[in-house]
Amino acid sequence: MNKISILYVDDEINNLISFKAAFRIKYHVLTAISGEEAIKILRNNTVNIIITDQRMPQMTGVEFLESILTEFPDPIRILLTGFADMNAVIDAINKGKIALYLSKPWDVAELEAAIEDSYEVYKQKLEEKEITQKLSLSNEQLEFLLRQKLLS
């Protein structure tokens, strides 16, 4: 079985190290110290879940998630913040950029539960996408057959 692939984005190197140490055995963990680095990683890897810190110097977690929404719509997004930045969190949830918000410092058990739940949502979204594509193809084939029948 393939491991769940997680991209963790945080501007604090110690947080990246801690995250990798806590989850590297169970999950495929990728880390990035900035939104720019994270985008490069996303372009070269399949990622199921993105976990990002809100407070980062070049771009906030919400800005990062917003910037990748079009190019990478599938990964489930989790926002971490150690500050009472509720306006950003509410904005991100309302605009559909994040599925979950957790406070820092994170708890390993809580974060692991969030990862597992998020992966179930990820798999469901992919199944729905696949079914929609199959239905669309079937619909096109039926329309073609109908046109053929009408022309004969």
Tens digits of per-residue pLDDT, 129-138? 999 999 999 9
Examine residue 131 and state whether it is found in any structural domain, yes or no. no
Q: What are 26-65's pLDDT values in tens digits?
A: 999 999 999 999 999 999 999 999 999 988 888 888 889 9
- Print the domain residue range for 74: 5-124
What backbone torsions phi and psi does residue 35 show, to the nearest 5 degrees?
-60, -40
Examine residue 150 and state whether it is found in any structural domain, yes or no. no
For the chain, the domain total comes to: 1
Question: Residue 13 belongs to a domain with what CATH number?
Answer: 3.40.50.2300
Count, residues in the chain: 152
Q: Which of 9, 81, 63, 4 is nearest to 38 (CA)?
A: 9
Start-to-end CA span in the chain (Å): 51
Q: How many CB atoms lie within 10 A of CB 25?
A: 8
Q: For residue 48, give every residue at least 6 positions away whose Cβ sits within 8 Å of its Cβ, in sequence order, or none.
A: 4, 5, 6, 75, 76, 118, 119, 122
* pTM score: 0.83
Question: Hey, what are 12's tokens?
Answer: 């604090």
Q: 101 pLDDT exceeds 80?
A: yes
